[in-house]
Amino acid sequence: MPSAAATLKPEIQFATLDQQGETAQLGIWVFLATETLFFGALIFTYYIYRMSYPEQIAHAAKDAVLWCGSVNIGLLLTSSLTMVLAINAAAQGRRRELVFWLVATVALGVIFLGVKGYEYYLDYKDHVVPAANYVEKPGEGPAGEMFWVFYFVATGLHAIHLSTGIGLVLYMLWRVSRGEITPAYYAPLEVVGLYWSFVDVVWLFLYPSIYLVGRS
């Protein structure tokens, strides 16, 4: 049993490890509030233009690849499940299970990025990439191009956040291997888990915004 866990003390500004862990969780929730506003502002621009040019946006959004978006929402929801199971395993000291669920979370995230990359390739072939090879299709008008700008900014930003999350989970795996995540103190893992689930939540709102428009 590595010695790191046995001698773990809180940092000087905290009285107990519990206080340190609870404070870390509050910290990440406050950060997630700023992320809500960040993506919320982006969705605000989408909302203004969809409200103002509903037919043009509907025409443009028909070309969004529904199966890619749907597979991806399934992958992310599953990854939130695997993440929470990992945290449970950490809290209960089941180390092999913890590693299994963390690896599963990373795998699901990587597959998401793969599907997204393939979807971008399909978008390129379909000439919906602004500034690259965009071709305005009938009924879209200029607002259609703005939809696609939103699409690439939103999914691109989301992918960056997801990649950061994958990096953080890999970092957690490294800390687990050094015995630094134990039932006595697993707050870093909870913090990463909260970030991960939030990235999932962002997709829950991007999905209907992008893929469920103009289908009827």
Partner 1 sequence: MKVDAKEAGALPFVIAWLLMVGLVGLSVWTAFLPIGVWSPIIEFTVAAAQTATIFILFMRLKGPPSLKWLAAGTGFFWLLFLYGLSMTDYTTRSSWPS
Partner 2 sequence: MSIATDVEPSFLESENTLASWLFTKDHKRIALLFFASITFFFFIGGFAATLIRLHLANPEGLLQPAMYNRMFTMHGIVMVWFFLIPSIPTTLGNFFIPMMIGAHDLAFPRVNLGSWYVFNLSGLVLLYALIMGGIDTGWTFYTPLSTNYASGYVFAAAMAVFVNGFSSIMTALNFVVTIHRLRAPGMTWMRLPLFVWGIYAVSLVMLTATPVLAMDTMLLAVERFLGVGMFDPTRGGDPILWQHMFWFYSHPAVYIMILPAMGMVSELITCYARRPIFGYAGMTMAMMAIAIVSFFVWAHHMFVAGISVYSAIVFSLLTFFVAVPSAIKVFNWTVSLHKGVISLDAPMLYALGFVLLFTIGGVTGLMVATLAVDVPVHDTYFVIAHFHYIMVGGTVSAFFGGLHYWWPKMTGRHYPELWARFAAILTFVGFNLTFFPQFILGYLGMPRRYYTYPAEWQPWNLLSSAGASILAVAYVLPLVYLGWSLLYGRRAEGNPWRATGLEWQTPSPPPKHNFETTPVVTTSPYAYNPEDGSYVTQDGTAYA
CA distance 172 to 194: 13
Q: H/E/C letters for each residue in 39-51? A: HHHHHHHHHHHHH
Amino acid at residue number 34: T
> Which of partner 1, partner 2, none does residue 134 bind (CB under 5 to 8 Å by kind)?
partner 2
Instruction: For residue 3, state whether it binds partner 2 (rule: CB under 8 A).
Output: no
**Residues recorded for the chain:** 216
Instruction: For residue 81, state whether it binds partner 2 (rule: CB under 8 A).
Output: no
> Which of partner 2, partner 1, none does residue 70 bind (CB under 5 to 8 Å by kind)?
partner 1
Quick check: 144 and 182 in contact, CB under 8 A?
no
> Which of partner 1, partner 2, none does residue 88 bind (CB under 5 to 8 Å by kind)?
partner 1
- Region from 81-89, 106-114, 140-148, 185-193 binding partner 2, contact rule CB under 8 A: 140-148
Among 64, 65, 68, 87, binds partner 1 (CB under 8 A): 87
Angstrom distances, CA of residue 204 to CA of 149, 153, 177, 200, 211: 19, 16, 33, 7, 11
> Which of partner 2, partner 1, none does residue 112 bind (CB under 5 to 8 Å by kind)?
none
Instruction: For residue 33, state whether it binds partner 2 (rule: CB under 8 A).
Output: yes
Closest CA to 79 of 157, 166, 1, 19: 166
Instruction: For residue 168, state whether it binds partner 2 (rule: CB under 8 A).
Output: no
**Burial group, residue 45, by CB count within 10 angstroms (0-12, 13-18, 19+):** middle
By the criterion CB under 8 A, which residues form the site for partner 1?
25-26, 29-30, 32-37, 40-41, 44, 47-48, 51-53, 66, 70, 73-74, 77-78, 80-81, 83-85, 87-88, 90-92, 183, 186, 190, 193-194, 197-198, 200-201, 204-205, 207-208, 211-213, 215-216
